[in-house]
Amino acid sequence: MFQPAAIDPAVDLLAQLAGHGPALELAIGTGRIALPLARRGVPVHGIDMSRAMVARLRAKPGGADIPVTIGDFATTRLDRSFSLVYLVFNTLMNLTTQAAQVDCFRNAAAHLTPGGCFLVEVMVPDLRRLPPGQDAVPFQTGQNRWAYDWYDTATQAMSSNYLDITDGRGQFRTFPFRYVWPAELDLMALLAGMRLRDRWDGFTRQPFTSESRSHVSVWEKPAP
């Protein structure tokens, strides 16, 4: 995800959507997208809960020049407006309840100028990969690591789980998420007063189809 093939198309689209206005990155992290976007001349502000990740951003060239507010990206409000708010790389699913995801859309809309856009990059739940009668899908297998995604189709809860073997000892880690469907996101946007403008397969803007494994969606806050 740090290679130019992944970053350049994202920055191209975000710069186009931001225009001459400032952009707000929810969950700015270590600045993978914010730094190259700022180098394109787009003023970027960030929100993130992790002081450790923001410290890594600050240590990078140009990182000290990007304002970052520490807080929950679903609810933290800034006293300014932006032409673009964006949230990339499945981070919306880190909000593990539907209510928190709705709050995120409302928070994005509250920060947008009329005519501004909210962009989200997120996976499409691929429940077709689930073996019949099972609720887990392996995505890494090897001598020293086994990893799988677990799905609860009743609640849309999921988790990515990792078992690593080092010197004959195992370490297990699990990361909780809530998967969300494109149509559900459109409803969240409507609740926040936004409407769908574009949806693509990814940042290269290929058409979104029933075979797409992820999507980049853009919702617009209508002008009065």
Write out pLDDT tens, residues 4-50. 889 999 999 999 999 989 999 999 999 999 999 999 999 999 999 99
Residue 29: CB atoms within 10 A of its CB come to: 19
**Rg, the chain, Cα only:** 18
What residue type is assigned to position 76 of the chain?
Answer: T
Write out pLDDT tens, residues 53-73. 999 999 999 999 999 999 999
What was the pLDDT predicted at 224?
Answer: 82
Query: What are the structural domains of the chain?
Result: 4-125+180-220 (3.40.50.150), 127-177 (2.20.25)
Write out pLDDT tens, residues 112-128. 999 999 999 999 998 98
What was the pLDDT predicted at 2?
Answer: 78
205: which 2 tokens? 């803007």
DSSP letters, 84-152, are: EEEE-TTGGGGS-SHHHHHHHHHHHHHHEEEEEEEEEEEEPP-GGGSPTT--EEEEEESSSEEEEEEEE
Nearest CA-CA partner of 219 in 87, 54, 94: 87
Global pTM reads 0.95
pLDDT-derived band of residue 221, with 50, 70 and 90 as boundaries? very high
What was the pLDDT predicted at 4?
Answer: 87
Strand-pair category, 82-87 with 145-152:
unpaired
Please tell me the distance from the alpha carbon of residue 71 to that of residue 111, in angstroms, as a whole number: 15
49: which 2 tokens? 């809960």
